[in-house]
Amino acid sequence: MENYNFKAIEKKWQDKWEETGAFHAETNSEKPKYFTMIEFPYPSGAGLHVGHPRSYTALDIIARKRRMEGYNVLYPIGWDAFGLPTENFAIKNKVHPKIVTAKNIENFTRQLKMLGFSFDWSREVNTTDPNYYKWTQWIFLQLFKHGLAYKQEMPINWCTGCKVGLSNEEVVSGVCERCGSEVVQKRKSQWMLKITEYAQRLIDDLDDVNYLEKIKTQQKNWIGRSEGAEVKFKLSTGDEMVVYTTRADTLFGATYTVMSPEHPLIEKMKDSIKNYDEVLKYKAEAAKKSEFERTELAKDKTGVKLEGIYAVNPANGAELPVFISDYVLVTYGTGAIMAVPAHDSRDWDFAKKFNLPIIEVVSGGKNVQEEAYTDVYKGNMVNSEFLNGMPVKEAIPAMIDWLEKQGLGERKVNFKLRDWVFSRQRYWGEPIPLVHCDKCGWVAIPESELPLELPEIDTFEPGDNGESPLAKAYDWIETTCPHCGGKAQRETDTMPQWAGSSWYFLRYMDPHNNDALASKEALEYWSPVDWYNGGMEHTTLHLLYSRFWHKFLYDIGVVPTKEPYMKRTSHGMILGENNEKMSKSRGNVVNPDDVVNEFGADAFRTYEMFIGAFDQSTPWSQQGLKGCYKFLERVWNLQSIVTDEEGYSADLEKNMHKAIKKVGDDFERMKFNTAIATMMSLVNDFSKKGSVTRGEYMTLITLLNPVAPHMTEELWQIYGNDGLLSLQPWPSFEEEKTVDDEIEIVVQINGKIKDKLMIPAGLDRNGTQEAAMNTDKIKGLIEGKTVVKVIAVPDKLVNIVVK
C-alpha cells in the first residue's frame, strides 16, 4: 500500500475528468434533468475566499449524488465580472478593466479547478463578454419596448473626492468608503425599471417555490405590502390633500397633518402660506441632508407649520394645522399623512416637540400623554362617535367603508418597494443600448446592432459633473437616430452589476447560442433551476431582481416558467479563527491555495462540509482541518485490512444499510457535517473490528465520493474497478435492514432514568410495558409505591408514574 499522496492523486483525476468530459451536461438527454446552481463569483483580485467553496462544495455534493442517481446534471460556472472594484483598480493602475478581469478570471479558474468541482466548464459564461451582454442588452430593450424602462431625475451618492457616483454600500457614515471625502446627494436623470408593477406577483408566486422560510420573509418585507386607505382632506385654500393611512380607525384622533417637504401642493399654495420663506428654507435644508443624516436624526423631529392654512378632518370637521417635515417621505404613499400622536410613535415624538394635542381614540394602553399606544390587537375605540366600542380590527374596515360611502376616501394597497435605479455613471458595465434624438426622444437601437460594445477608451475616470466616463468617447456617442436618420447621441450610462446576474442561469442552458439568449428547446428542457444556493446577503436584491426579469420574460413568451428558481437555500459565513469576519485588515484570512497545498483539495472540501451547520456562520479552525485530513488518511489506510469478501459482513450489515440511508438523507437536508460524522463512525467500526470487506469498503468510498472525489476515485481504481467512480450508481439500502432486531429502551420512574434494557424491536405497547416492569431493579424501586400511570412508547421508553 502506498502512502496517501494527495498531490499526485488530485491532479491525475482532475485531468481524467476533463479528458473524458465526465461532467458535461447534455441538452435533451434521455435521463431526467437536474439543474443545480451556485451564485457565480465576482472574480476579484484577492482570489478565492474560503467562503466560496462552502457553497460550491455543498452543491457539488448534490450534483455528484444526482449524477450517481441517474440524472443528467447541469452544474455550471461563470463570472459576474462587471463591477466597481475592477474599475477602481483599472483607474488606479491605468490598466484596462478587460485585462484586469481576464487575469482575475484566470486565477479563479485555476483555484476552482484545483478543488475538483464537477462544473461543466464547457458552459462557462462571462457577463463582460460581448456575446453575453448582447443578451443583457436585448432584455433591456424588451423592457424598454414594453414601457418598463423610463428616465427620471433621481439623487445619487456623489463622492466629492473621487468624483464618482457611489452605491449605498460604499457610503459609510456619510463619507466615501475609500477616500473619506464627503458624500453629497446629486440629482441625475437615471434609467429606472418598473419592478413595482410586479410587486404583487413577486409576493404571490413565493407560494409556488421552495425557498427557506426566512428568505421568503425577507422578500416579503422588502416588497413591504400594506393595506390601508387614501383619505381626502380639504384644505382652507380649497385644495385637496390626500393622505395614506393604515389606521383609518384613528381618524378621530388626528390632531394635525404633515406633508413631505417635496410635496407639490406646497408650491401650488405658496401665495396662501404666510411663512413661505421659512418653508423654502426648510425645504432647502432637507434637500441638503443626505439619506444618512435623515435617518440618523430619526428621533429628533423637525418641521415647519404652514401658517395661514388648515386642513379639515373629514370625519368630524375639525380644523387641523398643516406641517411640513422630513419624517414624511415623498416617495411613499401620497407624501402626506394624517398624524395621530396618541397611536403612532413618530407622530407622538413630533407632537411633543411642537406641543400639539394628543387625543386617545383606542383604549387599552397606558396614558397616551406618556407614550403612544400602537397595538392593533387589543383595545377598543373611544372618542370616535360611530366607532366607539369596536375593536381596532373591526374599526379599520368600518371606517374605510364609511369614507368610501361618503366619497371621502378609498381602500388602497401600497408597497415599500421602489422602482429599480438602473443607471450607473461608470465605464465597466453594459452600455445601455439607446440613443437620444432631439426629434424622436429616446430610441432603441436595432436588435441587429447588438451587442453595443463598450468603446475603447484610455481613461476610465468619470467626469467632474458625475457623467459616465463614456461621455468622453465622442466618436462613439455621436450616431444617427434609427428612427428618423437624424443626428442622435448614445446613452452614456451603463447598467448596474445586478443586470448580468439577473438572467445568467438562462444562458447556462445554451451558452453559445448566437440567435437567442438560449434556444426554446434548451429553455424548455432545463427550466427551472432545481436548486440554487447562495449567500444570505443576496437573498433580497439579487433574488428579487432576477425574479422580476424572469417574470417579464415569461410574460413576453421567452421563458416557459413563472419562477426562475424552484428551491433556494443559503449558507452561513466562514469566520476567521478569532470568530471575526475574515479580512486582510484583521489578519485572519485563510488562503485556499495554502490549505490545498498542505492538506489537499479533498481534505479542504471535507473540512468545509464538516466545519459546522451549513446554514450557520462558524469560525475556521486549522485543528479541525487537520482532523478531517486524518479521517481521509484513515480511510486510505483501511486498505491494509480489506478482505476479499464482496458483500457486507454479518455483524456490520445493519450499520452499512443505516449509513447509506443516513448519508443520503443528510446530503439532501444539507446536514453535511452529520453525514461525514456517520462515515467517520463507520471507519471507527472497521478499525475496531480490524477488518473490512471489499464490499463494505467500496460502499464507503462511494458514499464519500461526492465529498472527497479524488481520493475515492483512486481507491476505486486500485481495487480494479472499471470506469469512473463519479459515474457509478449511488448505493442502495434496504429499509428493513436499517432497523435493529433488538433495541435498548429506557425505563423511567417519574421521568428519571432508572434502568435500561434490551427488548425485541417492534414490540407493542403492552409487551414493552411488561418487559420494563419486570426487571429486578424496577420491581425493587416500585415496591411499596402506588403505580399511578405507565406510559410506554414502543422502541423508545417506559415511564412509570408512582406515588
Partner RNA sequence: GCACCUGUGGCGGAAUUGGCAGACGCGCUAGACUUAGGAUCUAGUGUCCCCGACGUGAAGGUUCAAGUCCUUUCAGGUGCACCA
Q: Site residues for RNA, window 385-444 (CB under 7 A)? A: 414, 416
- What is the C-alpha to C-alpha distance for residues 330 and 328, in angstroms, rounded to an integer? 7
Per-residue CA distances from 180 to 290, 295, 345, 583 (Å): 15, 20, 35, 20
Residue nearer to RNA on the CB measure, 272 or 673: 673
Q: How far is the CB of 132 from RNA (least distance, A)?
A: 27
Residues whose CB falls within 8 Å of the CB of residue 212, separated by 6 or more in sequence, listed in order:
568, 569, 570, 615
Q: Is 744 in the site for RNA (CB under 7 A)?
A: yes
Query: Side chain identity at 545, as an amino acid letter?
Result: Y
CB hemisphere CA count around 208 (13 angstroms): 12
Residue range at the interface with RNA (CB under 7 A); choices 12-20, 142-150, 238-246, 763-771: 238-246
∠ Cα 674 675 679 (to 5°): 110
Q: How far is the CB of 673 from RNA (least distance, A)?
A: 5
From 145, 669, 689, 779, residue interacting with RNA (rule: CB under 7 A): 669
Give the x-and-dash track for 685-724 against RNA (CB under 7 A).
Answer: --xx------------------------------------
Strands 618-619 and 574-575: parallel
Q: Is 228 in the site for RNA (CB under 7 A)?
A: yes
- Burial of residue 118 (CB within 10 Å: 0-12, 13-18, 19+) is buried
Residue range at the interface with RNA (CB under 7 A); choices 98-106, 210-218, 596-604, 693-701: 210-218
∠ Cα 210 213 214 (to 5°): 135
Q: Cell for 474?
A: 465622442
Residue nearer to RNA on the CB measure, 560 or 612: 612
Q: How far is the CB of 165 from RNA (least distance, A)?
A: 17
Q: Is 737 in the site for RNA (CB under 7 A)?
A: no
Q: Which of residues 511-550 bind RNA (CB under 7 A)?
A: 536-537, 540
Strand intervals (E) in 118-269 = 125-126, 149-159, 164-166, 171-172, 175-176, 183-193, 210-211, 225-235, 240-245, 256-259
Residue nearer to RNA on the CB measure, 130 or 624: 624
Give the gyration radius of the chain's Cα atoms: 33
In three-state secondary structure terms, 218 is helix
Q: How far is the CB of 333 from RNA (least distance, A)?
A: 4
Q: How far is the CB of 671 from RNA (least distance, A)?
A: 5
Tell which residue, 480, 515, 616, 476, has the closest CA to residue 135.
Answer: 515
Per-residue CA distances from 569 to 536, 548, 615 (Å): 9, 19, 8
In three-state secondary structure terms, 56 is helix
- What is the C-alpha to C-alpha distance for residues 795 and 774, in angstroms, rounded to an integer? 17
Q: How many residues bind RNA (CB under 7 A)?
A: 83
Concatenated DSSP letters for 589-624? PPPHHHHHHHH-HHHHHHHHHHSS-TTS-EE--HHH
Q: Cell for 692?
A: 473490512
Q: Is 673 in the site for RNA (CB under 7 A)?
A: yes
- Do the Cβ atoms of 242 and 414 come closer than 8 Å? no
Residue nearer to RNA on the CB measure, 11 or 214: 214
Q: Which of residues 565-624 bind RNA (CB under 7 A)?
A: 581, 610-613, 616-619, 621, 623-624
Q: What are phi and psi of 444, to 5 degrees?
A: -70, 140
Give the x-and-dash track for 451-490 against RNA (CB under 7 A).
Answer: ----------------------------------------
- Do the Cβ atoms of 563 and 208 come closer than 8 Å? yes
Residues whose CB falls within 8 Å of the CB of residue 406, separated by 6 or more in sequence, listed in order:
314
- The phi-psi region of residue 54 (left if phi > 0; otherwise alpha if psi is between -120 and 50; otherwise beta) is alpha
Strands 33-38 and 72-74: parallel
Give the 3-state secondary structure of 438-449: CCCEEEECCHHH
From 92, 94, 366, 752, residue interacting with RNA (rule: CB under 7 A): 752
Q: Is 65 in the site for RNA (CB under 7 A)?
A: no
From 82, 323, 525, 631, residue interacting with RNA (rule: CB under 7 A): 631
Residue range at the interface with RNA (CB under 7 A); choices 13-21, 233-241, 289-297, 454-462: 289-297
Q: Which of residues 239-258 bind RNA (CB under 7 A)?
A: 244-247
Q: How far is the CB of 443 from RNA (least distance, A)?
A: 33
Residue range at the interface with RNA (CB under 7 A); choices 57-65, 401-409, 520-528, 678-686: 678-686
Q: Is 217 in the site for RNA (CB under 7 A)?
A: yes
Q: Is 759 in the site for RNA (CB under 7 A)?
A: no
Q: How far is the CB of 259 from RNA (least distance, A)?
A: 9
Residue nearer to RNA on the CB measure, 515 or 776: 776
- Do the Cβ atoms of 610 and 626 come closer than 8 Å? no
Q: Cell for 229?
A: 386607505
Q: What are phi and psi of 571, to 5 degrees?
A: -110, 160
Q: How far is the CB of 411 from RNA (least distance, A)?
A: 13
Q: Is 92 in the site for RNA (CB under 7 A)?
A: no
Q: Cell for 241?
A: 390633500
Residue range at the interface with RNA (CB under 7 A); choices 67-75, 291-299, 433-441, 445-453: 291-299
Residue nearer to RNA on the CB measure, 272 or 618: 618
Q: How far is the CB of 548 from RNA (least distance, A)?
A: 17
Q: Cell for 644?
A: 476479499
- Do the Cβ atoms of 290 and 371 come closer than 8 Å? no
Tell which residue, 95, 196, 52, has the closest CA to residue 533.
Answer: 52
Concatenated DSSP letters for 259-297? E-TT-HHHHHTTTT-TTHHHHHHHHHHHHHS-HHHHHHT
Q: How far is the CB of 630 from RNA (least distance, A)?
A: 5
Q: Which of residues 264-283 bind RNA (CB under 7 A)?
A: none
H-only helix segments in 531-652: 541-555, 592-599, 601-610, 622-637
From 109, 181, 218, 721, residue interacting with RNA (rule: CB under 7 A): 218
Q: Which of residues 322-361 bind RNA (CB under 7 A)?
A: 326-329, 332-333, 335, 337, 344, 346, 349
Q: Please, which contacts does 758-761 make with residues 24 or more away whose CB atoms are closer than 8 Å? A: 761/795
Residue range at the interface with RNA (CB under 7 A); choices 111-119, 271-279, 585-593, 682-690: 682-690
Give the x-and-dash track for 770-799 against RNA (CB under 7 A).
Answer: -------------------x-x-x--xx-x
From 353, 393, 756, 765, residue interacting with RNA (rule: CB under 7 A): 756
Residue nearer to RNA on the CB measure, 324 or 725: 324
In three-state secondary structure terms, 660 is helix
Q: How far is the CB of 754 from RNA (least distance, A)?
A: 8
Residue nearer to RNA on the CB measure, 145 or 214: 214
- Do the Cβ atoms of 798 and 775 come closer than 8 Å? no
Residue nearer to RNA on the CB measure, 164 or 328: 328
Residue nearer to RNA on the CB measure, 227 or 521: 227
Q: How far is the CB of 738 from RNA (least distance, A)?
A: 10
Residue range at the interface with RNA (CB under 7 A); choices 11-19, 365-373, 482-490, 746-754: 746-754
- Do the Cβ atoms of 686 and 696 come closer than 8 Å? yes
Q: How far is the CB of 297 from RNA (least distance, A)?
A: 5
Residue nearer to RNA on the CB measure, 8 or 541: 541
Q: Which of residues 95-124 bind RNA (CB under 7 A)?
A: none
Q: Is 560 in the site for RNA (CB under 7 A)?
A: no
Give the x-and-dash track for 21-60 against RNA (CB under 7 A).
Answer: ----------------------------------------
Q: Cell for 259?
A: 406633508
Q: Is 750 in the site for RNA (CB under 7 A)?
A: yes
Residue range at the interface with RNA (CB under 7 A); choices 292-300, 354-362, 484-492, 551-559: 292-300
